[in-house]
Structure 1
Amino acid sequence: MNHRSPDLSRRTALTALAGAVLAGATAAPASAVASRHRTVRFATFNASLNRGTEGALVTDLSTPDNSQARNVAETIQRVAPDVLLINEFDYVAGGRAVRLFLDNYLAVGQRGARAIRFPYHFTGPVNTGVASGVDLDGKNGAVTTPGSDAYGQDAYGYGWFPGQYGMVVLSRFPIDRRAVRTFQHFLWKDMPGNVIPEGYYSDEARAILRLSSKSHWDVPLRIGRETVHFLVSHPTPPTFDGTEDRNGRRNHDEIRLWADYIGGRRRGAYLYDDKGGRGGLEPGARFVIAGDLNADPYDGDSYDHAVRQLLDHPAIRLPKTPPSSAGGVEAARLQGGANASHVGNPAYDTSDFNDTAPGNLRVDHVLPSRGLIPRANGVFWPTSGDPLYRLVGNGTTVPTSDHRMVWQDVQVS
């Protein structure tokens, strides 16, 4: 379902601001710039470090010369976040892939950028590529052998093998691992007022279908004496379905999980995590929501303006100006196509998608809570005249990812 706002001027109203944000220059980490104010740089990056076969990511990261991994590492080093979510990083039990990336790529300065170290990280299993044992798409029986599109359609989350398109959190600050909450197994049917499409799923499928296409994680960070909950996820794209809009509806409710989680005791009371813990976040707790939410507030195929459940949420404190770039403006102008009819300001775009449809979109978000003070922010999208343009490409070639890193500085205390 495609929604449009009547405010067509939003597309260009803030374009002039784009040149003032980070594009190609190396950014000093917020913790170094303003440590006495305890300003922390949070970021999200769909790095496309997913592979088509199980184990291939470990192979690629076992040597320091994989070109795409070097580009991902350099992008991270240029932005220099303190806390980072990486989406589309294949999950490998035991964390071997994460350690290889930390040691072989981030700990090595890439093309003049400074090496960066994250002493703490968290990763875990996800629903992508995990066989459901049920014919979810109702086409060819339950496909249980990994390695095909048919298998992916019947997995709890689309993927050709368990762990594909996983997630990892990297942090300069300690992670309270015992307090981490995950919602991998929460069932979609257990969300009151859910928007599961009527008549599409069999009773057997509805009974076992998990809400999260990957997982939802609450990762508490100890920043000085304060705790900030890093709420991370990667909802399914609201596409690749039919008139029933099953993916659009699932994307909506995956985003809604966080809206309910931060919405107070009564609103989040129905939630249960993978350890059996009940309810949402305690009122007044500080948090940052981050991830490739696959939802643009104005353009694309979201169901019922899905991401506005967060952008308009009273517990969230938005910056005066969203993260932006000059590169997004230039890309929309040069690539044309669907971009010409978009309502959202291209300065806020975070992804370079097919120009026929859906065009470039704002789908990656970093959203701080009340109790945190938003400061500087940006989208890493250099323009074609910037030496670092080689990291993003022109939409035809994809040297790193079709997404851009988004960062938001927040004052914690």
Structure 2
Amino acid sequence: MKYLTAILALAFFSGCGAPEADSVVRFATFNVYLNRPAEGGLIDDLKSADNVQAQKVAEIIQRVAPDVLLLNEFDYDEDGEALRLFKQIYLDHGWNGAEPAIYPYAYLAPSNTGVASGHDLDRDGVVTTEPGSRAYGGDAFGYGEFPGQYAMVLLSKYPIDEAGVKTFQTFLWKDMPGAMLPDDQATAEPDDWYSVEAREVFRLSSKSHWDIPVIIDGERVHVLASHPTPPSFDGEEDRNGRRNHDEIRLWADYIAGDPDGYVYDDKGERGGLAEGARFVIMGDLNADPHDAGAVPGAIGQLLTSPSVADAPFPKSEGGAVQAKLQGGANESHQGDPAEDTADFGDDPETGVGNLHLDYVLFSKAGLKETASGVFWPAPEDEHYGLVGSGFPVESSDHRLVWRDLQITDE
């Protein structure tokens, strides 16, 4: 991967290495909302230091100071120019007294978003192959109006075992046993929302799934990164809800060692994680445990996995305060608003309210939590302006979620 090697080579000149041995490692995920409506738009916005949204995103990262950080909704370009600009102009510069956030290592790879499928996936009667419209996005492997919109990147203060990285961008949905393929309820045939031809090429991952081994004090921790599609923007067939469920299921089966023997990566290698492997699952998984439109049990596939540590969800004071202040759709929610990680529209007729969508989950084997949190300051907090009241969006409509983890021998 030529572009990845170039990014790493540039990063080594930052002069900052990994934290001291035996330190607690802070893992974090942040949907940074650094997506733009046109290809190259993010690069243009990051060429100077005057983009207020990017400043606030960078300051949030600097205030929390993660050691390993997944960014969702960061537009991809093959040369890694947007990432280089964000690192050098925003992260490497301390904002409002915060310390710079220096990441010597990064992983960047293509996303299925905005990659034309050649099929009428949204069934609007037209196969749209010209980027730059919602119709094009509806026929892409993952929704995106141009290739790489809404992509992701991993930043790390610890070395990445590049040779050990596995990606699952091209894994086909139909190859998952018992896949929840959407059904056209107007026909007698099962699982036929997509044509036979489309099912032969339809990729499960709406962005990608990455297994990125990070080497911490000589020990390997697998960062399992993804960003499943929102379980909305569809109809009775629930094609996005079903896909979201199965994107989450891929990780559930992978950390279980692939007992059904179906998982293969982009190199054609088969199998899941070895028993006892340390892992951290991170990303905007778009599945609230209690509220909104996810398929029932979608996130439960991970939360109830015997391989995942049974740890309390990270919380914030600001999430609970905003749910009360905003009211509306939030008033009917069953989940604890202190665990919310996203601030959406609150109209009880059209909005979904604030939701718990972003996760840092970790293996029961080999890792121990010492602290956790969601960066969502309350209104009286000095850093409240980094997130604001929700509308307009100051930094992102999601909040950074973190856990401090220590490697153990258990």
| Structure 1 and Structure 2 fold alike (TM over 0.5) | yes
Aligned to 2:291: 299
Aligned to 1:331: 322
Aligned pairs, number? 379
4+ aligned runs moved over 6 Å, structure 1: none
The within-5 A match list for 1:6-405 is 35=20, 37-198=22-183, 199-267=192-260, 269-319=261-311, 321-356=312-347, 357-370=351-364, 371-405=366-400
- Using CA pairs under 8 Å that are at least 6 residues apart, name the structure with larger relative contact order, 1 or 2: 1
* Alpha carbons 1:318, 1:374 under 8 Å: kept: no
Q: Give 1:396 shift.
A: 1.8
* Inter-partner Cα distance in structure 2 for 1:128 and 1:401: 20
* Inter-partner Cα distance in structure 2 for 1:399 and 1:350: 15
Q: Give 1:38 shift.
A: 3.1
- Residues 123-151 of structure 1, C-alpha deviation per residue, up to 9 Å, x if partnerless? 10000000001111221321000000000
* Alpha carbons 2:68, 2:155 under 8 Å: kept: yes
1:315 aligned partner, one-letter code: S
* Inter-partner Cα distance in structure 1 for 2:21 and 2:223: 22
**Per the alignment, in what secondary structure is the counterpart of residue 208 of structure 1?**
coil
1:349 aligned partner, one-letter code: D
Per the normalisation by structure 1, the TM-score is 0.90
- Residues 49-102 of structure 1, C-alpha deviation per residue, up to 9 Å, x if partnerless? 000000011111111121111111000000000000000000010211111111
Aligned to 1:409: 404
Shift in CA distance, 73/164, structure 1 to aligned 2, threshold 3 Å: same
Q: Give 1:318 shift.
A: 3.0
* Alpha carbons 1:265, 1:283 under 8 Å: kept: no
* Alpha carbons 1:265, 1:282 under 8 Å: kept: no
**Per the alignment, in what secondary structure is the counterpart of residue 55 of structure 2?**
helix
**Per the alignment, in what secondary structure is the counterpart of residue 244 of structure 2?**
helix
Greater alpha carbon shift after TM alignment, 304-313 vs 122-131: 304-313
* Inter-partner Cα distance in structure 1 for 2:150 and 2:141: 13
- Residues 262-284 of structure 1, C-alpha deviation per residue, up to 9 Å, x if partnerless? 012424x2111111111111111
* Alpha carbons 2:37, 2:145 under 8 Å: kept: yes
1:271 aligned partner, one-letter code: V
1:328 aligned partner, one-letter code: G
Per the normalisation by structure 2, the TM-score is 0.91
* Alpha carbons 2:309, 2:362 under 8 Å: kept: yes
* Inter-partner Cα distance in structure 2 for 1:64 and 1:284: 45
Q: Give 1:185 shift.
A: 0.3
* Inter-partner Cα distance in structure 2 for 1:240 and 1:137: 10
2:352 aligned partner, one-letter code: P
1:260 aligned partner, one-letter code: D
Q: Give 1:334 shift.
A: 0.5
**Per the alignment, in what secondary structure is the counterpart of residue 231 of structure 1?**
strand
Greater alpha carbon shift after TM alignment, 387-396 vs 322-331: 387-396
Q: Give 1:298 shift.
A: 0.6
* Alpha carbons 2:253, 2:259 under 8 Å: kept: no
**Per the alignment, in what secondary structure is the counterpart of residue 383 of structure 2?**
helix
Q: Give 1:408 shift.
A: 0.4
2:101 aligned partner, one-letter code: I
* Inter-partner Cα distance in structure 2 for 1:260 and 1:94: 33
List gaps (5 residues or longer) in structure 2.
1-17, 184-191
* Alpha carbons 2:224, 2:282 under 8 Å: kept: yes
* Inter-partner Cα distance in structure 2 for 1:243 and 1:164: 27
* Inter-partner Cα distance in structure 1 for 2:23 and 2:241: 38
